[in-house]
Each structure stands twice: as C-alpha cells, then as structure tokens.
Chain A
Amino acid sequence: MKPKVAFFDFAGCEGDQLQVANLEEELLDLLEQVEVVSFREVMKEHSDNYDIAFVEGSCTRLHDEARLKQIRKNAKIVVAIGSCATIGGINSLKNYQDLDDVRRTVYGDKAKLFDTYAARPIDAVIPVDAYVHGCPINREEFLHVVKSLLLGKKPDIPNYPVCVECKKNENVCAFERGQFCVGPVTRAGCNSCCINEGTICWGCRGLVDNPNENSQKEVLIKYGLTVDDAIKKFRLYFGWQERKR
C-alpha cells in the first residue's frame, strides 16, 4: 500500500507547498509512490489518516499548538518544510519587539482581538523527524528528503556553511564586493543560490550546528557594520535559534 501523506500550513506564505505544486510532471511521478490525503493547495478531499505530515509555517499562537499536537499524534513522520517551520524564519523578527506594540501597530485599537505570541519553529512545540530547509524550499531537496523517508533512510542534509558551496561555484565573495553576507554561518544545501544570482546569503536555511557566530560577527564589524547592525543581520532568520542558544 502506498504511504499516505498530508500537507499542513501555519503562519507562513505557502511558498513551500507551492514548490511542491511546481514539481509539475515530477509531481505526477511522485503521486505514483505516495497517496496524498490532504493538501489544500490542490485538493478538496481531506483525511486524518496519514503516515507522513509535511508542515509549513511557524507556530505564532497558543491555540495553534493543539492542531500541531494532533498532527503529531496522527502521523508517523513529521517533516518541517521551509524556514518558518524549520527555524522560525522571518516571523521571528517580531519576537524582538514588544508584542503588544506589534499588535497595535497593525490593528490599532482593535489589537486585543488578535492573539499572538513569539513566533517559533514547529520543533519548539512537537518533535520533528526531518527538515527541508530554505525560504522557499528547494524542489530537488524536497524530493531527496521524500525519497529518503520512503526508503527508511536519514536524509542527507549538509552541516557545513554556504561558503563551501559558494567557493565551489567560484563566486566572488560578497565581502570582497563590499557587501555583508551570513553565508559563513548558514547551513549549505542551497548551492549558494542567492549569491549565484548576484546578491548575498540572508541565512534562510538557519545556522549550521556549530556556527562560529562570534567570528562571523567580528567579520561583519571588521567590514564596517556596527555591533547593532551585525545583530540585526543575524536576527533576520536566526532570531529563534539565537535566542535558544
């Protein structure tokens, strides 16, 4: 029998589920291996009987925790997909502000109607078995993780910095160009895609397991950033991870 899979989303942009939809013909191939029982992006049917749950988005409200726990209970394997789910992502920017102020900024005197708490990755609420990093996720890496899970293997996810891939791609280092980049502490696996496109690494795949943050901050400061600016660069994606450390 084909394994049953389901997709769920919390606070996020749904860009990761879109990458799955964007597999185009490969999605049809994938559908020969698994049975999708819930995926709002493409189907009306829904079932709570599934083996693998893919979860996108951060948990940003206390009352969303129950839904997550139910997913954990229903699924044999829970996979976090995309930065919001794997590391808290961009959503954690608001964690550094007064949450009452945040609500007032957006909803004015109706602020109290809108429940929120510090944005967090899925594994801050429930145990997670596998991760597909990135903002958005990379389609090939998604397929790799799915294939590994179907074969009962641990997905092979790099635990070295983006710089390794970036050097292999023969990019001119962002620092050499006078830009600031968090590639030295960010988990690789994206093939340094943002630098290849002429920009910098923003850190969407999160910190490697043992990042040399202090030296990275020193580098940032050496190249002219203030301590505050260096911290700001880290907070764009690493907000939750930094706070946890």
Chain B
Amino acid sequence: MEKRNFDVEVHHVTRVEGHGNIYVNVRNGTLERCEWNISEAPRFFEAMVVGRNWNELHHITSRICGICSIGHTLASLRATEGAMGITISDQDLKLRKLALHAENLQSHLLHVGFLVLPDLMGVGSVIPLASSNPKELKTVLRLHRLANEMSDLVCGRTTHPQRLIPGGFSKIPSMKELSGLRERLKASVPDLRAVAKLLKSLAPKIPDFVRETEFIALTSPNEYALYDGKIGSTDTDAAPAREYLSFTNEYIVPHSTAKRSKHARESYMVGALARLNINYDKLSPLAKNTAELFGLKPVCHNPFMNNIAQLVEVVHGVEDSIKLINELEAAGLKSQPDYNLPEVKVKAGQDVGAVEVPRGILFHDYTYNEKGVCTKANCIIPTNQNHGNIELDMKALVPKIIGKTPKEIELNLEMLVRAYDPCISCSTHAVKVHFV
C-alpha cells in the first residue's frame, strides 16, 4: 500500500455545548496523532446556580441545552426534589415520562431524519431532499411535528418547558387532549414503518466497524429505564444514582474545554445504543421488531448503529406513550388547580437526579442550605461522557480505512461523530483533509 502522509482537520465540527475539532495526522501510512478536541466556550452553569433558590434551578439549568431542555429540567427537578424530600404523584410521574418520550422522539427524529439521512443518501444536507425525496422528507417532518406538539401539550412548549416545576406540574393537559394525542400516536405507526423501511434500504451504507467498549445507562427491573433507575453497565454491577461519581470519574485533557469520563475501561459510551444494549428485553414489541429488522441485538459494539438504536427508541417511545395515556385514563385523570404550585417544605439537603436524555445518561447533583439556596452543583452531560469513546473509536477506525480516499476518510469520521449525535449542529461541519 502507498505510504501516504496526510492530515485531517475538522474545524468546529461539532458543538457539544460548543465547538469541536478533529485532528488526524498520518505519516508514512501510519496514524501518528488522532485527537478529538472541544473548543466550545464554557458557560460555567455549576458556578452560575450557586446562590440561586431551589425553585429557580430547573429554569436555569434547562438552558444548558436547547435540544434536551426537558431532560435537563427533569434531572434538575429530581435532584431538587430528592434534596428536599418532595414526592410527586403517580399521575405526575406518568406525565413526566410522557414529557421525556416527547423529547426523545423529537431529538431522535431530528437526528436520524435531518442529519444522518443526508449522509446515507449522499447529499450535504436535508435541503436537497425536499426536491429529490419530498415524500420521505414529509414523512419525517410529520413525525417530528407530532413529537414537538406532544411536548407542547404536556410541557407547555418544546424548548425550555414551563409546566415542569418542583413537586409536579403548574398545568396539565386534559384527558381529551391526551386521548387526541393517543390517536395521533397510533396513526403515526405507518409513518414509522415507512422511515424504518427507508433506513433499511440504506443500511448497507452504515459502516461495519466494531470496537469493544463499555456501555452505561439507567436500568430498571420494571421498564425500559429513562426517568428512573439504577446506573447499569455492560461491564459491572448496577449502582444507585447517588454513586454516579464512581462511574463518571471525570478528568480534564488540556486544550479541550469539555471534561471526559472513564469507568471500567479507558472510555465508555452512553446514549440510545447503550440503553438498548443494557435494557433490550424491556423494549416494546414493535420496537423489538424494528431492532430485529436491522439485526440489532445486545451487545452491539458498532457505534454507527446508535442511529438505528435511536430509530428503535422512537418506536418504543410511541408505543410506551400510548400505554402511559391508557394508564392515565384507566386511573382517571385528576384535575389540579390553575397555576398549581405544590407546597414544598424547604430544607437543607443534597441529592442526585439521573435521567436518560436523547444522548445518554445525565446527572444533576445539588446541595442546598436550610434556606433552599444552592451551595454546590455538579452537572455531568452525556456528550462529555462520550468524548473519550469518540476519540478511541477514531483511533481504531482510521487505520482500518487508511487506504480509502481522503474524501471517504472525511465522510467516515464525520459519520462517526454524527453517530454519537453529540449535539445537533455538532456533526454537520465540513472536514478538511490536507495532503502534505
């Protein structure tokens, strides 16, 4: 094989709470350097919330991420509620699970439909698909709109939801609205099948790359864990959320503003594939069928299959939401006062909220003084937990594809980053390859 020298530089590939760069140097056909650096402007949320009141934290930390603001709000509320000893009703619990499904659906559909699909169809963005594949694009848009309208209906709006507050909800949907939603969810199944069929036809384009790693996700004996559960791993026993630090083990690498994590190995992966690998048995029937269609079984070590795991989770989210609405109906939806403000006895305390958001397990850890003022906070974001794994994947991937054309190498590295769905805009930048 030709002993080539070349560099791959992806400037601002991704924004993961900001901007990320890929640097690859190949000398004499050998990989010399392979780095995944985050140059995002840090925002210092953990410092910003210190001194703020318990009933503001969810509002502030929602602003960490526009795409998974519902997940941040819920992790935040769970930490605050745990610290203050607040319990929520079974009805509110189910409504919060619906809220989480809505966000996962919205985020996964946006990722698979708008960001991954163009790669598989060989175009630079979703825009050309409007004229070349209007039918497919409209199907994705329809599903995406449904997910957003589901957020609006349950949370007040799709981004930075207003209704989710400590102790429950300031306002809840009516049973009529929920049954309307249920009908639309049921009616969306043909669209889901169409998207699955489209992806199946493109599946041969998904790179066949395997690197064994550890997967970490919430796990529960009762359900496909998203809102609640213990921290599970494909390498070790599960542990309560309060012990998160023994899993995340954050460290800082110079010149990357994002922290990284490692647990039983050099790195681990979180997100849809991690959840599927750990909780496959708890998937809804149609979701399992979808996984089978793609031959996706636990434990799958191909990070590119994360996109298929996202599709499987979309199907699960729709089916489980229908089930949750049925349960709410069977129990009889109880109304609550307008401008509901659950009574809270403020006290000193500390707790951890762990929630599965589209990109993986998210932790918020707050300490409050006796006045309910936050004195310490720690937030561990899924994407940060994935950075180390992304870099190691790149190091393993480049030697395997080193004989390909620079354009193919670019595309493969971009697709790898994109597979992790690090943040919506992250993965859509051009890769520049320089030959020296």
Q: Which of B12, B18, B252 contacts A107 (CB 8 A)?
A: B252
Asked if B425 contacts A40 (CB within 8 A), the reply is: yes
Per-position binary interface string of chain A over residues 53-93, scored 1 when its CB falls under 8 Å from any chain B CB and 0 otherwise: 00001001100100000000000000000000000011101
Q: Which of B44, B52, B67 contacts A14 (CB 8 A)?
A: B67
Asked if B170 contacts A10 (CB within 8 A), the reply is: no
Interface residue tally on A, bucketed by range: 35 or more
Query: B60 on the interface (CB 8 Å rule)?
Result: yes
Q: Which of B60, B162, B340 contacts A93 (CB 8 A)?
A: B60
Per-position binary interface string of chain B over residues 421-434, scored 1 when its CB falls under 8 Å from any chain A CB and 0 otherwise: 00111101110000
Complex Cα spacing A106 to B255, Å? 15
Secondary structure class of chain B's binding surface, majority of residues? loop
Decide: A21 near B66, CB < 8 A? Known: A105-B44, A105-B47, A198-B170: no
Complex Cα spacing A97 to B49, Å? 11
Asked if A197 contacts B125 (CB within 8 A), the reply is: no
Per-position binary interface string of chain A over residues 87-120, scored 1 when its CB falls under 8 Å from any chain B CB and 0 otherwise: 0011101100100011101111010011010000
Decide: A42 near B42, CB < 8 A? Known: A19-B159, A110-B252: no
Query: B160 on the interface (CB 8 Å rule)?
Result: yes
Closest to A178 in B: B341
Q: Which of B44, B64, B162 contacts A103 (CB 8 A)?
A: B44
Q: Which residues of A contact B138 (CB under 8 A)?
A: 25
Asked if A106 contacts B428 (CB within 8 A), the reply is: no
Query: A177 on the interface (CB 8 Å rule)?
Result: yes
Query: B156 on the interface (CB 8 Å rule)?
Result: yes
Q: Which residues of chain B (198-221) have a CB below 8 Å from chain A?
A: none
Interface residue tally on B, bucketed by range: 35 or more
Complex Cα spacing A113 to B148, Å? 39
Asked if A40 contacts B429 (CB within 8 A), the reply is: yes
Query: B288 on the interface (CB 8 Å rule)?
Result: no
Complex Cα spacing A42 to B56, Å? 32
Asked if B170 contacts A199 (CB within 8 A), the reply is: yes
Asked if A236 contacts B252 (CB within 8 A), the reply is: no
Q: Which residues of A contact B430 (CB under 8 A)?
A: 44-46
Q: Which residues of A contact B171 (CB under 8 A)?
A: 197-198
Q: Which of A93, A114, A136, A179 contacts B159 (CB 8 A)?
A: A136
Decide: A97 near B47, CB < 8 A? Known: A44-B125, A197-B163, A199-B165: yes
Q: Which residues of A contact B194 (CB under 8 A)?
A: none
Asked if A28 contacts B339 (CB within 8 A), the reply is: no
> Chain B residues in contact with chain A, CB under 8 A?
12, 15, 18, 41-44, 46-53, 56, 59-60, 63-67, 69, 110, 114-115, 118, 124-127, 130, 138, 141, 144-145, 148, 156-160, 162-163, 165, 169-171, 252, 254-255, 257, 338-341, 423-426, 428-430
Closest to A25 in B: B141
Asked if B425 contacts A17 (CB within 8 A), the reply is: yes
Asked if B170 contacts A197 (CB within 8 A), the reply is: yes
Asked if A13 contacts B64 (CB within 8 A), the reply is: yes
Q: Which residues of B contact A50 (CB under 8 A)?
A: none
Apart from A18-B67, A31-B130, A91-B43: 12 A-B pairs, beta carbons within 8 A: A9-B425, A15-B67, A24-B141, A40-B15, A41-B424, A43-B125, A44-B124, A105-B44, A110-B254, A113-B255, A135-B63, A197-B171
Q: Which residues of A contact B341 (CB under 8 A)?
A: 177-179
Complex Cα spacing A102 to B31, Å? 38
Q: Which residues of A contact B130 (CB under 8 A)?
A: 28, 31
- Give me the 7 closest cross-chain CB pairs, A-B, nearest first: A15-B66, A198-B170, A43-B125, A198-B171, A197-B156, A197-B162, A40-B425
Complex Cα spacing A38 to B298, Å? 39
Q: Which residues of A contact B52 (CB under 8 A)?
A: 93, 232, 236
Closest to A46 in B: B430
Q: Which residues of B contact A102 (CB under 8 A)?
A: 44, 47-48
Q: Which of B50, B160, B257 contacts A114 (CB 8 A)?
A: B257
Shortest B257–chain A CB gap in Å is 6
Query: A202 on the interface (CB 8 Å rule)?
Result: yes
Complex Cα spacing A135 to B66, Å? 9
Asked if B127 contacts A36 (CB within 8 A), the reply is: yes
Asked if B66 contacts A14 (CB within 8 A), the reply is: yes
Q: Which residues of A contact B118 (CB under 8 A)?
A: 44
Decide: A198 near B339, CB < 8 A? Known: A16-B66, A97-B47: yes
Asked if B60 contacts A90 (CB within 8 A), the reply is: yes
Asked if A236 contacts B159 (CB within 8 A), the reply is: no
A-B contact pairs, 21 of them (CB 8 A): A9-B425, A12-B66, A18-B67, A21-B114, A22-B148, A24-B144, A36-B127, A42-B115, A43-B124, A45-B125, A64-B41, A91-B48, A93-B49, A102-B48, A106-B47, A107-B252, A110-B254, A114-B42, A136-B66, A198-B339, A199-B339
Complex Cα spacing A203 to B298, Å? 47
Asked if A42 contacts B145 (CB within 8 A), the reply is: no
Decide: A177 near B66, CB < 8 A? Known: A93-B48, A197-B163: no
Asked if A198 contacts B162 (CB within 8 A), the reply is: yes
Complex Cα spacing A66 to B211, Å? 40
Complex Cα spacing A212 to B178, Å? 42
Closest to B161 in A: A197
Q: Which residues of B contact A25 (CB under 8 A)?
A: 138, 141, 145
Complex Cα spacing A101 to B114, Å? 41
Query: A227 on the interface (CB 8 Å rule)?
Result: no
Asked if B157 contacts A193 (CB within 8 A), the reply is: yes
Query: A172 on the interface (CB 8 Å rule)?
Result: yes
Q: Which residues of B contact A106 (CB under 8 A)?
A: 42, 44, 46-47
Complex Cα spacing A11 to B339, Å? 33
Complex Cα spacing A14 to B171, Å? 26
Shortest A116–chain B CB gap in Å is 6
Q: Which residues of B contact A28 (CB under 8 A)?
A: 130
Per-position binary interface string of chain A over residues 159-175, scored 1 when its CB falls under 8 Å from any chain B CB and 0 otherwise: 00000000000001010
